[in-house]
Structure 1
Amino acid sequence: MSRDIARTGATLVRSSRDPLADLVRAQGLAVAVGLDPDRPWKMTRSVVPA
């Protein structure tokens, strides 16, 4: 799977931390660089679990 990810130009980050903690870190980084984590750019549709 890592080769498939590399072919797309994305970066695979493996972490032993809790996935929710990593999500909080990613959202904090987005805010720090001036992005809105609730409205990702280039994303016109999303699935919201109920």
Structure 2
Amino acid sequence: MLDAFTAIPAAVLRNLADMLYEKRKIVALEVEGIVKQLTVAGDHMIK
């Protein structure tokens, strides 16, 4: 089982707080993809 910091790369977490909407939007889509992959893999119980 993964925790949130190993499942989502540090660069992605940093970019979630970017001032530009477009960058935040792109990163949010990346996070969505990571969550979907973890769900499919059955590793959706992130601590």
With the shorter chain as reference, the TM-score category is 0.3 to 0.5
Give the structure-1-normalised TM-score: 0.39
Q: Which has the larger radius of gyration?
A: 1
Of structures 1 and 2, the one with the larger relative CO (CA 8 A, separation 6+) is 2
- Determine which structure has the larger helix proportion and give its number: 2
Normalised TM-score (structure 2): 0.41
